[in-house]
A = this chain, B = another copy of it.
Amino acid sequence: MKQLLIASTSTIYGSSYLEYLQPTLEVFFKNANTILFIPYARPGGISHDDYTAKAEKAFAKINKNVQGIHKCDNPAHAIKNAEAIFVGGGNTFVLVNTLYQNKLMEVLKSKIENGTPYLGTSAGSNITGVSMQTTNDMPIAYPPSFQTLGCIPFNINAHYLDPDIHSKHKGETRETRIKEFHTYHDVPVIGLREGSWLAVKNEDIILKGELSVRFFQKDKEPTELPPNTNFNNFN
Contact = CB atoms under 8 A, between A and B. Distances in A.
Contact of A140 (B10, B140, B181): B181
Contacts of A181: 138, 140
A171 B138 contact: no
Contacts of A44: 172, 176, 179-180
User: Which DSSP category, helix, strand, loop or mixed, fits chain A's interface?
Assistant: loop
A45 B176 CA distance: 9
Nearest to A90: B180
Interface in A181-219: 181-185, 194
Contacts of A138: 133-136, 177-178, 180-181
B159 A170 contact: yes
Interface of A: 9-14, 42-45, 90-91, 93-94, 122, 132-142, 145-146, 158-159, 161, 168-172, 176-185, 194
29 contacts: A11-B170, A42-B183, A44-B172, A44-B176, A44-B179, A44-B180, A45-B179, A45-B180, A45-B182, A45-B183, A90-B180, A91-B180, A93-B139, A132-B139, A133-B138, A136-B171, A136-B172, A138-B177, A139-B146, A140-B183, A141-B184, A142-B145, A142-B146, A159-B169, A159-B170, A161-B169, A169-B194, A170-B194, A171-B194
